[in-house]
């Protein structure tokens, strides 16, 4: 049982058509010991039986229902409904492992200036609701090697400029920090989490617990097949560079050539996706943007050549 002085943690679970998995997700949250919890499921316009399952199987869970507005709006609704001093996030098909929240709270109690933490995680390709006991036993053995699970910790703005090293389903942060940052940007259909971590990294150290305390589920329904309408990665990083440049709050500088290479790759990847969809004009524009960012970026040259060849083929280009 949590001690009377244990801070309340509000766990926000955005849900959209997650009936198959959400029960296992909630059960993994309830398995957290020595922590005071409230669980808030924000249903983002599901058309399956997700809400009915939660109401029947987990009557203590608070449910917020909204018309479909995207995951950023769903998480913001959960934050607005939360009563806890701390906010944690987990998606409706992911799994926490025992001890996660207690480990994060203990780490941050020793670092009073730290207002946000995350943990290592394990990618879990599976469509079964719950992990098998033998899988968890093997993971427990792997978890003992702390060096394997180390990662960016502290003032991590320079690392975030290169990659989204924080995964949302492992994050625990102060509610006051979220209020200062105005939550997730609802204009971002993708990258809304990346954007928030970058903003958070300007005002607090972000501590990593070097142990895998969560399973990141990969299953067929979780793989995005649609061609992206916007290069959200470039937008998020571009906004950060425009506001703060390369300098970290602790005085370190980001690696400018590495940032350029990363941005160029984001544009060549975006171009490649549109090339595959035969959106040749969009592919061509993105390819040239990649080369303006980094003229030595070979994949961008390749995608432009392929775009030119496809333009000569008899198939009709999409508008």
* Average pLDDT estimate for 252-262: 96
Mean pLDDT of the chain: 93
Assigned domain for 144 exists: yes
Res 284 pLDDT > 60 = yes
Question: Which stretch of 3-12, 106-115, 220-229, 304-313 has the lowest confidence by average pLDDT?
Answer: 220-229
Assigned domain for 61 exists: yes
By percentage, how much of the chain surpasses pLDDT 70?
A: 95
What was the pLDDT predicted at 222?
61
Shared domain for 183 and 246, answered yes or no, is: no
- Output b/e per residue, 117-133; b: 16+ Cβ within 10 A: bbbbbbebebeeebbee
Q: Which of 221, 246, 273 is the last residue of a domain?
A: 221
What was the pLDDT predicted at 134?
93
Distance of CA 39 to the CA centre of its chain: 19
Shared domain for 77 and 153, answered yes or no, is: yes
Shared domain for 212 and 68, answered yes or no, is: yes
How many other β-carbons are positioned within 10 Å of the β-carbon of residue 319? 7
- Using one digit for the tens of pLDDT, what is the confidence trace for 62-115? 999 999 999 999 999 999 999 999 999 999 999 999 999 999 999 999 998 999
Question: Which stretch of 40-49, 140-149, 304-313 has the lowest confidence by average pLDDT?
Answer: 304-313
- Output b/e per residue, 248-276; b: 16+ Cβ within 10 A: beeeeebeeeebebbbbbbbbbbbbbbbe
- Alpha helix (H) residue ranges in 208-279: 232-244, 256-276
Burial of 110 (0-12, 13-18, 19+ CB in 10 A): exposed
Shared domain for 121 and 16, answered yes or no, is: yes
Residue with tokens 């994949």: 299
Res 162 pLDDT > 70 = yes
Assigned domain for 319 exists: no
Distance of CA 278 to the CA centre of its chain: 29
Between CA 166 and CA 200, with CA 18 as vertex, the angle to 5 degrees is 20
Shared domain for 86 and 217, answered yes or no, is: yes
Shared domain for 201 and 283, answered yes or no, is: no
Assigned domain for 3 exists: no
Assigned domain for 318 exists: no
CATH number at residue 37: 3.90.550.10
Assigned domain for 264 exists: yes
What was the pLDDT predicted at 101?
98
Residue with tokens 């997650």: 18
Residue with tokens 């809400």: 51
Res 176 pLDDT > 50 = yes
Shared domain for 195 and 241, answered yes or no, is: no
**Residue 308, CA atoms < 13 Å, CB-side half-sphere:** 7
What was the pLDDT predicted at 256?
97
Q: Determine the Cα–Cα distance for residues 15 and 17; give it in Å rounded to an integer.
A: 7
* Average pLDDT estimate for 147-176: 97
pTM here is 0.93
Give the β-pairing of 172-174 and 86-89. Answer: antiparallel
Shared domain for 22 and 78, answered yes or no, is: yes
Q: Which of 197, 221, 245 is the last residue of a domain?
A: 221
The parent domain of residue 153 ranges over 8-221
Assigned domain for 246 exists: yes
Res 225 pLDDT > 70 = no
Assigned domain for 238 exists: yes
Cβ 79 vs Cβ 12: under 8 Å: yes
Shared domain for 241 and 299, answered yes or no, is: yes
For residue 119, name the pLDDT band (cuts at 50, 70, 90).
very high
pLDDT top residue among 2 and 178: 178
Distance of CA 91 to the CA centre of its chain: 9
- The count of domains in the chain is 2
By percentage, how much of the chain surpasses pLDDT 90?
A: 89
Which contiguous run of DSSP H or E holds residue 47?
none
What was the pLDDT predicted at 319?
45
- Using one digit for the tens of pLDDT, what is the confidence trace for 28-47? 999 999 999 999 999 999 99
Q: Which of 158, 186, 221 is the last residue of a domain?
A: 221
Helix, strand or coil, per DSSP, at residue 84: coil
Q: Determine the Cα–Cα distance for residues 126 and 131; give it in Å rounded to an integer.
A: 8
Residue with tokens 């394997």: 148
What was the pLDDT predicted at 296?
95
- Alpha helix (H) residue ranges in 82-219: 100-109, 133-143, 157-160, 175-181, 192-200
What was the pLDDT predicted at 131?
93
What was the pLDDT predicted at 5?
67
Shared domain for 250 and 188, answered yes or no, is: no
């Amino acid at each position: 049982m949590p001690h009377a002085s244990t801070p309340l943690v509000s766990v926000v679970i955005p849900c959209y058509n997650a009936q198959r998995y959400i029960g296992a997700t909630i059960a993994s949250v309830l398995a957290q010991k020595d922590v005071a919890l409230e669980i808030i499921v924000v249903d983002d316009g599901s058309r399956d039986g997700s809400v009915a399952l939660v109401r029947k199987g987990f009557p203590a869970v608070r449910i917020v229902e909204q018309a479909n507005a995207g995951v950023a709006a769903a998480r913001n609704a959960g934050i607005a409904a939360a009563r806890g001093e701390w906010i944690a996030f987990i998606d409706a098909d992911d799994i926490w492992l025992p001890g996660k929240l207690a480990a994060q709270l203990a780490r941050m109690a020793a670092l009073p200036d730290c207002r946000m933490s995350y943990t290592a995680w394990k990618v879990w390709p599976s469509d079964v609701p719950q992990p098998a006991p033998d899988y968890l036993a093997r993971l427990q053995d792997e978890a003992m090697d702390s060096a394997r699970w180390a990662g960016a910790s502290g003032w991590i703005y320079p690392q975030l400029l290169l990659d989204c090293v924080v995964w949302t389903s492992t994050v625990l942060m102060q509610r006051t920090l979220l209020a200062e940052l105005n939550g997730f940007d609802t204009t971002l259909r993708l990258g809304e989490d990346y954007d928030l971590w970058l903003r958070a990294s300007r005002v607090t150290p972000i501590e990593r617990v070097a142990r895998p305390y969560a399973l990141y589920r990969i299953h067929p329904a979780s793989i995005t097949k649609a061609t992206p309408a916007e290069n959200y990665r470039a937008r998020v990083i571009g906004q950060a560079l425009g506001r703060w440049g390369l300098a970290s709050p602790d005085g370190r500088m980001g690696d400018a050539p590495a940032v350029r290479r990363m941005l160029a790759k984001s544009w060549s990847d975006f171009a490649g996706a549109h090339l595959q969809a035969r959106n040749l004009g969009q592919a061509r524009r993105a390819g040239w943007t990649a080369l303006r960012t980094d003229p030595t970026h070979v994949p961008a040259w390749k995608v432009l050549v392929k775009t030119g060849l496809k333009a000569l083929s008899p198939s009709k280009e999409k508008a």
